[in-house]
A = this chain, B = another copy of it.
């Protein structure tokens, strides 16, 4: 199994815009590497909750998206790769600042990709604000 990415940042960004036009501009792919990806979510008013903190659904969306990007980077264009489960722990209330998510694949099998996505508030040094464990199901593909 290839352990180097088969898609780069530009290819992944174009693919994401194509299959999820509704998140265009909301998720910026910053880097991909072997079994890894980093995605930034710019935070504006629409993402905030009472008290000026970023909403839980926004963090869920970021973790889910970053993990999707990490997986696609390794397996290639498979739009129908879908989340089967996600466990998220909210660790600290993020202030009103961009969120940055590091996704990391722990196990990439033929049918499942399992790993984690850790979310940081940009510029904050005292640890992550959320952590997710994600499982994606990969559709069956013809043998290579």
A36 close to B (CB within 8 Å): no
> Do B87 and A106 touch across chains, with their CB atoms under 8 A apart?
no
Known: A91-B114, A133-B89. A50 touches B79 (CB 8 A): yes
What is the CA–CA distance of A92 and B116 in the complex, to the nearest angstrom?
A: 16
> Do B135 and A89 touch across chains, with their CB atoms under 8 A apart?
yes
Q: Which residues of B contact A84 (CB under 8 A)?
A: 89-90, 112
Contact of A85 among B111, B118, B135 (CB under 8 A): B135
On A, residues with C-beta under 8 Å from B are 19-20, 22, 46, 49-51, 56-57, 60-61, 64, 79-80, 82-93, 106-107, 111-112, 114, 116, 118, 127-128, 131, 133, 135
